[in-house]
Amino acid sequence: MPDIQATLRAATASGVIPVVEVEAVADADALAEALLEAGLGVVEVTFRTHAAAEIIARIVQRHPAMLVGAGTVLSPADLSRAIDAGAQFALAPGLSRPMLDAAADAGFAYVPGAMTPSEIQAGLEVGISTFKFFPAMPAGGLSFLRSISAPFRLHDLRFIPTGGVSIANLADWLGEPAVAAVGGTWIASRDMIRDGDWAGIRRNAEEAVRLARQ
Ligand code: 3PG
């Protein structure tokens, strides 16, 4: 069984996780190449398009240097599809008991969303300590994250803020010790992917990698 903590460390190592919505399987290669050329070896392919599982499988098979996560995984059925496609980890915007159970049964690296102390407690009860923090900026940004995580200081929580994260606030988030990495669609937006703006995606990814390294 894969080591969940090691997988999550690898997934967050770059400090930045591009969140993507890809409609066309044919775009998977160019997208993966643009990110890898920029030095970004991780991507969260969201189940917000019907092609998600196929995109994941294609990137996993053709771009072994890329660590592929499945995003917006809302049901155990989607989790199974993500695992079958070869995803190495999965995330969701929220937390639900069926998903926690399915991920635990599969021994799979799963990052649920937490936006309240109750969700953090529910995750802790089943051994989860890395959470997606969504929607990070509209919810109140860094000060909100500090407030809700303060009571849990003995639990070494790690967060992946997404939602309104951009190049403008990336450094602030990554300066916070509890932040493992940030995620966001700004690096490779739906429009950029649809328009085939691979050069723009590469530039955004390079900029994000450079700032994250600082
Ligand atoms: C996510 O799924 O993480 C969010 O949709 C990302 O939000 P953003 O579009 O504001 O980056």
Start-to-end Cα distance in the chain: 34
Residue 214 included in any domain: no
| Ligand 1 atom having least distance to the Cα of 93 | 2
Assigned domain for 121 exists: yes
Q: Is 131 helix (H, G, I), strand (E, B) or coil?
A: strand
**Confidence at residue 106, expressed as pLDDT on a 0 to 100 scale:** 96
CA dist 129 → 112, 114, 125, 174, 205 (Å): 10, 10, 10, 18, 27
Query: For atom 8 of ligand 1, which residue has the closest CA?
Result: 163
Q: pLDDT digit string (tens) for 171-211?
A: 999 999 999 999 999 999 999 999 999 999 999 999 999 99
- The model's pTM is 0.97
In this prediction, residue 125 carries a pLDDT of 96
pLDDT at 206: 98
pLDDT at 1: 60
Instruction: Flag whether 171 is in a domain.
Output: yes
Q: Which of 21, 23, 37, 44 is catalytic?
A: 44
Tokens of 29: 């290669």
Which stretches of the chain score pLDDT less than 50?
none
- Distance (angstroms) between ligand 1 centre and the Cα of 5 equals 23
| 18 within some domain | yes
Which among 112, 176, 172 has a CA at the least distance from the CA of 150? 176
Q: What CATH number has the domain bearing residue 119? A: 3.20.20.70
Distance 67 CA to ligand 1 centre (A): 19
Phi, psi of 40 (to 5 degrees): -105, 110
Output the pLDDT for position 123. Answer: 97
Q: CA 102, CA 73: separation in Å to the nearest integer?
A: 11
Neighbours of 31 (CB within 10 A): 26
Please pick, among 33, 132, 176, 207, the residue that the annotation labels catalytic: 132
Residue 131 lies in a domain: yes
**Cα separations in angstroms, 33 against 37, 62, 121:** 6, 10, 39
Q: What is the ipTM of this complex?
A: 0.94
Give the sign of the dihedral formed by CA 117, CA 182, CA 83, CA 195. positive
Supply the pLDDT for residue 162. Answer: 98
Domain count, the chain: 1
Tell me if residue 132 falls in helix, strand or coil: strand
Which residue segment(s) compose the domain that 124 sits in? Answer: 4-209
The residues with which 160 forms a beta bridge, in sequence order, are: 132
What atom of ligand 1 comes closest to residue 162's alpha carbon?
A: 3
